[in-house]
């Protein structure tokens, strides 16, 4: 594994040669499709050349989701120098003493790359932790897990050492189920609970069997068509047989996890603030199913809908990050108001600082951070 950073100019020249244009026309932020007019076939050629030239794992570039040269450069670097161990927790911006942690759980058939680039939209003293299920991404050498309880066990073990300060969970689609079940596990075992839980594009659990299709039992053609209808999967993945056959087992595994999970009967509402998010044109999950989450928490924080389909998150990164930040800050401030004496600023009517107070990795460490996210009196 190389430890030498990939020069972005090498990538620029490679893309320019495929497009038969001058390198300076491939600017760092030029959108591959909208500005450079790179179609699926050209993207496949670029991906193959990048993988060959830099030793990136086969078929990973084409599904990376990189839309600009800058994003592609960051992805190649992450594949070559960022994957040093088989750890399911990826921290794109590690901090020595974060004020809070936000754990992000990906969708079925996906990986931590769903959340690549999110860290820059959150408070600088929050540490984002991107969870990766086995059998994909940097854990592709590990066996897939097709059982919800076993995957929850796996993540529980991985994140246990990181629950020493305020934290929240956010999951998209299958990730919502995992985040919810992991919260139930923590509650059952008396472990620290998330200060906030966010679920996205996933309906509240219900005991009665769905009449919906069971994707893991579909033929390849049926499953490809189903994924096209849902959205979120690139043409490079669905239209290229070599790429599809590499990733189809991951889709089938994750859909089996979803299709075979048995929801609990009359579960106790979680004592955790819960917010729900969804896409207005989602063909899988309607607004009524999203609102049903109210019965699963003692602190329902509402539903926010965004323009888009099941994968609306891909086009609303910034506003969604702002909404998550606001919801988690609100939950932390509410907790702080019940456990921490008012400060002088609060007496004077000034807005209280929530998370975003704790020291950063390179900053002062004069104050510890307690479970409220506010400075502690301890040295």
**Which of 158, 83, 99, 89 shows the shortest CA–CA distance to 361?**
99
CB count within 10 Å of CB 218 equals 17
Residues 77 and 94 in one domain: no
Contact indicator for 285, 260 with CB cutoff of 8 Å: no
Share of the chain above pLDDT 70, in %: 84
Residues 58 and 119 in one domain: no
Share of the chain above pLDDT 90, in %: 54
The residue assigned the tokens 């929530």 is 354
Contact indicator for 305, 278 with CB cutoff of 8 Å: yes
- What's the confidence (pLDDT) of residue 341? 55
**Which of 71, 88, 78, 89 shows the shortest CA–CA distance to 28?**
71
The yes-or-no verdict on residue 374 having pLDDT over 80 is: no
Please spell the DSSP secondary structure of 326-364, one letter per residue.
HHHHHHHHHHHHHHSPPPHHHHTTPPPP-SS-SPPTTS-
* pLDDT average, residue stretch 372-379: 32
Residues 191 and 211 in one domain: yes
What confidence category does residue 333 fall into, taking pLDDT thresholds of 50, 70 and 90?
Answer: very high
* pLDDT average, residue stretch 194-217: 84
- What's the confidence (pLDDT) of residue 345? 45
- What's the confidence (pLDDT) of residue 86? 64
Domain ends where: 81, 111, 128?
A: 81
Helix (H, G, I), strand (E, B) or coil at 305: strand
Residue range 267-283, pLDDT digits in tens: 999 999 999 999 999 99
Q: What are the strands, taking DSSP E only, across 108-166?
A: 126-131
Residues 136 and 223 in one domain: yes
What confidence category does residue 120 fall into, taking pLDDT thresholds of 50, 70 and 90?
Answer: very high
The residue assigned the tokens 């909208």 is 34
Lowest mean pLDDT across 74-88, 206-220, 315-329:
74-88
Contact indicator for 35, 29 with CB cutoff of 8 Å: no
Residues 124 and 268 in one domain: yes
Lowest mean pLDDT across 19-28, 37-46, 288-297:
37-46
Contact indicator for 274, 299 with CB cutoff of 8 Å: yes
**Which of 131, 81, 84 shows the shortest CA–CA distance to 105?**
131
**Which of 149, 165, 40, 157 shows the shortest CA–CA distance to 87?**
157
Residues 168 and 64 in one domain: no
What confidence category does residue 63 fall into, taking pLDDT thresholds of 50, 70 and 90?
Answer: confident
- What's the confidence (pLDDT) of residue 14? 93
* pLDDT average, residue stretch 35-57: 86
* pLDDT average, residue stretch 81-85: 48
What confidence category does residue 211 fall into, taking pLDDT thresholds of 50, 70 and 90?
Answer: low
Lowest mean pLDDT across 21-25, 71-75, 140-144, 308-312:
71-75
State the residue range of the domain holding 111: 89-336
- Decide if 345 is inside a domain: no
Q: Are strands 297-306 and 100-105 parallel, antiparallel or unpaired?
A: unpaired
**Alpha-helical segments (H) within the chain:** 8-19, 40-54, 69-81, 148-159, 174-189, 220-230, 235-238, 241-260, 287-291, 317-339, 344-347
Q: DSSP character for 171? A: E
* Chain mean position to CA 235: 21
- What's the confidence (pLDDT) of residue 212? 60
- What's the confidence (pLDDT) of residue 340? 55
- Decide if 363 is inside a domain: no
Residues 139 and 246 in one domain: yes
- Decide if 132 is inside a domain: yes
What confidence category does residue 332 fall into, taking pLDDT thresholds of 50, 70 and 90?
Answer: very high
* pLDDT average, residue stretch 342-364: 37
The yes-or-no verdict on residue 64 having pLDDT over 90 is: no
Lowest mean pLDDT across 76-85, 236-245, 276-285, 346-355:
346-355
Identify the burial level of 342 via C-beta atoms within 10 angstroms of its C-beta, where 0-12 means exposed, 13-18 middle and 19 or more buried. exposed
- What's the confidence (pLDDT) of residue 44? 86
The yes-or-no verdict on residue 302 having pLDDT over 60 is: yes
Beta-bridge partners for 1: none
- Decide if 273 is inside a domain: yes
Residues 114 and 209 in one domain: yes
Alpha carbon distances (Å) from 26 to 44, 225, 236, 305: 17, 34, 21, 35
What confidence category does residue 210 fall into, taking pLDDT thresholds of 50, 70 and 90?
Answer: low
Identify the burial level of 317 via C-beta atoms within 10 angstroms of its C-beta, where 0-12 means exposed, 13-18 middle and 19 or more buried. middle
- The CATH number of residue 259's host domain is 3.40.50.1820
Domain ends where: 55, 81, 107?
A: 81
- What's the confidence (pLDDT) of residue 281? 94
- Decide if 374 is inside a domain: no
- Decide if 116 is inside a domain: yes
Query: What is the phi/psi pair of residue 357, to 5°?
Result: -100, -35
Structural domain count of the chain:
2
Please spell the DSSP secondary structure of 228-269, one letter per residue.
HHH--S-HHHHS-HHHHHHHHHHHHHHHHHHHH--PPSSPPP
- Who contacts 34 (Cβ-Cβ below 8 Å, separation ≥6)? none
Query: What is the phi/psi pair of residue 205, to 5°?
Result: -60, 145
The residue assigned the tokens 């033929």 is 219
Calculate the average pLDDT of the chain. Answer: 83
Residues 65 and 111 in one domain: no
- Decide if 323 is inside a domain: yes
- What's the confidence (pLDDT) of residue 89? 94
- What's the confidence (pLDDT) of residue 366? 27
Residues 176 and 70 in one domain: no
Query: What is the phi/psi pair of residue 271, to 5°?
Result: -85, 50
Domain ends where: 38, 57, 81?
A: 81
- The CATH number of residue 49's host domain is 1.10.1200.10
Residue range 229-276, pLDDT digits in tens: 887 677 778 888 888 888 899 999 999 999 999 998 889 999 999 999
- Decide if 377 is inside a domain: no
* Chain mean position to CA 249: 21
Residues 68 and 178 in one domain: no
Residues 208 and 231 in one domain: yes
């Amino acid at each position: 594994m190389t430890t030498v950073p990939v020069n972005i100019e090498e990538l620029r020249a490679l893309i320019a040669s495929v497009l038969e244009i001058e390198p300076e026309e491939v600017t760092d932020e030029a959108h591959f499709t909208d500005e450079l007019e790179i179609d699926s076939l050209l993207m496949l050629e670029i991906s193959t050349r990048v993988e060959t030239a830099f030793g990136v794992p086969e078929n990973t570039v084409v599904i990376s989701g990189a839309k600009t040269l800058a994003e592609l450069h960051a992805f190649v670097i992450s594949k070559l120098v960022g994957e040093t161990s088989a750890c399911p927790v990826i921290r794109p911006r590690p901090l020595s003493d974060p004020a809070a942690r936000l754990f992000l759980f990906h969708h079925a058939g996906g990986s931590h790359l769903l959340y690549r680039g999110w860290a820059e939209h959150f408070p600088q003293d929050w540490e984002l932790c991107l969870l990766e299920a086995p059998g994909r991404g940097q854990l592709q050498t590990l066996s897939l897990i097709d059982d919800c309880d076993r995957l929850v066990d796996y993540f529980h073990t991985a994140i246990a050492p990181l629950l020493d300060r305020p934290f929240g969970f956010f999951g998209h689609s299958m990730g919502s189920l995992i985040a919810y079940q992991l919260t139930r596990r923590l509650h059952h075992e008396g472990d620290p609970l998330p200060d906030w839980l966010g679920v996205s594009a996933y309906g509240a659990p219900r005991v009665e069997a769905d009449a919906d299709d069971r994707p893991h039992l579909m033929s390849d053609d049926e499953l490809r068509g189903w994924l096209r209808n849902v959205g979120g999967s690139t043409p490079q993945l669905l239209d290229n047989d070599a790429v599809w056959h590499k990733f189809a087992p991951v889709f089938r595994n994750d859909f089996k996890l979803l299709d075979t999970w048995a929801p609990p009967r009359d579960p106790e509402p979680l004592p955790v603030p819960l917010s729900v998010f969804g896409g207005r044109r989602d063909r899988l999950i309607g607004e009524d199913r999203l609102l049903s989450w109210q019965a699963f928490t003692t602190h329902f924080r509402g539903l926010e809908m965004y323009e888009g389909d099941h994968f609306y998150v891909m086009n609303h990164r910034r506003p969604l990050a702002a909404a998550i930040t606001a919801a988690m800050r609100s939950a932390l401030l509410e907790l702080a108001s019940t456990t921490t004496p008012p400060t002088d600023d609060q007496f004077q009517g000034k807005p209280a600082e929530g998370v975003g107070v704790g020291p950063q990795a390179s900053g002062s460490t004069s104050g510890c951070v307690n479970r409220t996210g506010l400075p502690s009196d301890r040295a």
